[in-house]
Amino acid sequence: MVIEITDQTFQETTRGEGLVIVEFWAPWCSLCKLLEPILEELSSEYDSQVSIAKINVESNQEVSERLGVKSLPALFIYKQGALVGQVNGFVPKSTLQEAIKPFIE
């Protein structure tokens, strides 16, 4: 399951155990809509190993500005609070799997 987070819950979410992928998105972003089913699939496949969250940049600008998000979708990968990877733009599922592979125990 992909969860919705906010500026206020971002830090708590990314500090969690395991791997956390955060998608920065906006309702008008067509590439974000294309990425949505891929993230749902990854969420199901890596259920206990990876958490997937999304944050709407229109209603939550603080974190996206602090991290310098310039284009959407933007995926930030965290492991126990540390930023360990980033993927920008729409990419196929296999690319995301390769990006998270080194961090899955």
Give the residue numbers marked as catalytic.
29, 32
CB under 8 Å to 27, separation ≥6 — which residues?
Answer: 56, 58
CB of 77 closer than 8 Å to CB of 27: no
